[in-house]
Each structure stands twice: as structure tokens, then as C-alpha cells.
Amino acid sequence: MMKRSKKAALVLMVPVATLLLAGCGEEREQAMVFTDPSECSAAALNSAAQCEADYAAAQALHPQVAPKYLNKQECEVDFGAGNCETAPQQTTSGGSVFMPMMMGYLAGQMMNRGGANLQQPAAAGAGAGTNVPTQPLYKSRDDRATFRTATNTPVAGGIGPISLKPSQVKPQVGQVVRRGGFGAQAASRNSFGG
């Protein structure tokens, strides 16, 4: 029998790129939700280049902010069968970490730019010229219509322009999902050891 732990995974101590967020005013700002950059380009709210840049930024953020699970079944309970993938930052043991697939993205809307002078791609993080952090969006198994942030904040019932307060959608490191089952078991025991 092995004398060492089966796994030694970290979920809170893992690194995350510091997200540079512009000062969060409480005013609502225009933003957009799309499944992919071609939908975004077709809507002509931002330039095609901006659409691609935002999508790439959201994809880059996805593995960092997506909620993490230590097994695939638990992930699929929340996000539906076939909607979970292996996270790239595997635990050291080779025991994989799972996360939901990205189902869309949120980006700030470049207003009144009329397609001119938009060649510069946005940096990762906040969309250029807006305070809305560009980020991936997800859909939970029991509410297939709604786009949600990685922290489970619903942002839109479909694609297109929306308005929101940037502080409500501030991305955070994806933490392991806590389940009622653990709590229920803990509550049924009075002491540990023996």
C-alpha cells in the first residue's frame, strides 16, 4: 500500500495573472455578448479585428477563471454532459482538473468608433476603451439560455449588446466548487478522530 497521498492538489494557491481592471465606476456601461467573433463581426458593433482580439483575450482568460472540479462527473452535473474539458494547469499528480467549456464571451462595446482606427487589438483584460473586463462566459446545465460569468453571475439571456456595471463582472481566480454533500456529511458528525 502506498505510504503517500494519492494526490496533493492546490486550488487556491495556484497562480493567476493579475487582472488589470480600470477604475470601476458604478455607472452602467455598454458591452456585448457573443458566442464567437464571426457573430460579433456580423453585428458590426465593433470592428472584426476588435472582435477577434476580444475573443482571443477571453479564451486566454478562460483556463484561469473557469470554476475547477477534481472530477469530470461533478463538472458535468453543473454544466451538462459533454460540456466539460480538462484544464491545462493540471494538478501535479497528473490527476486532472476539469472545467466547463467556454460558451461565449463578454467584451466592452466600442461606441461611436464607426469602424475607423480600430486596427489596434485590445490587450488582454479590460477591453480597449471600456471598463468592462473582457472574459469568457458559460452556461449551466439547468439554465441553457443564460450566459454566466465564471463566478456564476448571469449577464445575458442571449447574444447582442447589453449594459452592466463593470464591477459586477470582475473576473476572479476559479476556485474549486463547493458542494452541499460535503457540508451535509460534516454536519452529521460530531467529532473527528477516535
Partner 1 sequence: MKRISVAERANWRAYAEEVGFNFHTFDGEPYWDETAYYQFTLQQIENDLEAPTEELHQMVMDMVGDITRSEEMLTLLNIPRDYWSYVWNSWNKGEPHLYGRMDLVYNGFGPAKLLELNYDTPTSLFETGFFQWVWLEDQIKNGVLPEGADQFNSLHDKIEQAFAHLSLPQPFYFTSVRDNIEDRGTVNYLMDMAAQAGVDVRYIPLEDIGVIADKNGDNEQFVDLDDQPIKGLFKLYPWEFMVQEDFARAITAANTQMIEPAWKMLLSNKGILPLLWARYPNHPNLLPAFFETASSEPFGAGWVRKPLFSREGANVDLITANGEKMSAAGPYSDGRYIRQAFHALPKYRDEYRNADTYAMLGSWVVGDSAAGICIREDATLITKDSSRFLPHIILD
In Å, how far are 7, 70, 93, 127 from 2, measured between CA atoms?
Answer: 12, 21, 14, 50
Instruction: Work out whether 190 is an interface residue with partner 1 (CB under 8 A).
Output: yes
Binding mask 86-125 for partner 1 (x = CB under 8 A): ------xxx-------------------------------
Instruction: Work out whether 189 is an interface residue with partner 1 (CB under 8 A).
Output: yes
- What secondary structure does DSSP assign to 71-90, as a single string? SHHHHHHHH-TT-EEE-SS-
Binding mask 147-176 for partner 1 (x = CB under 8 A): ----------------------------xx
Instruction: Work out whether 192 is an interface residue with partner 1 (CB under 8 A).
Output: yes
Instruction: Work out whether 18 is an interface residue with partner 1 (CB under 8 A).
Output: no
Find the shortest distance in angstroms from Cβ 177 to partner 1. 9
Q: Is 19 exposed, middle or buried (0-12, 13-18, 19+ CB in 10 A)?
A: middle
Instruction: Work out whether 77 is an interface residue with partner 1 (CB under 8 A).
Output: no
Distance, CA of 166 to CA of 150 (rounded, Å): 14
C-alpha cell at 89: 494547469
Instruction: Work out whether 193 is an interface residue with partner 1 (CB under 8 A).
Output: yes
Instruction: Work out whether 182 is an interface residue with partner 1 (CB under 8 A).
Output: yes
Distance, CA of 14 to CA of 5 (rounded, Å): 19
Find the shortest distance in angstroms from Cβ 61 to partner 1. 18
Instruction: Work out whether 187 is an interface residue with partner 1 (CB under 8 A).
Output: yes
Distance, CA of 113 to CA of 133 (rounded, Å): 19
The C-alpha cell 480600430 sits at: 118
Instruction: Work out whether 27 is an interface residue with partner 1 (CB under 8 A).
Output: no
Distance, CA of 4 to CA of 25 (rounded, Å): 50
Find the shortest distance in angstroms from Cβ 34 to partner 1. 33
- Positions touching partner 1 (CB under 8 A) are 2-15, 70, 92-94, 175-176, 178-179, 181-183, 185-187, 189-194
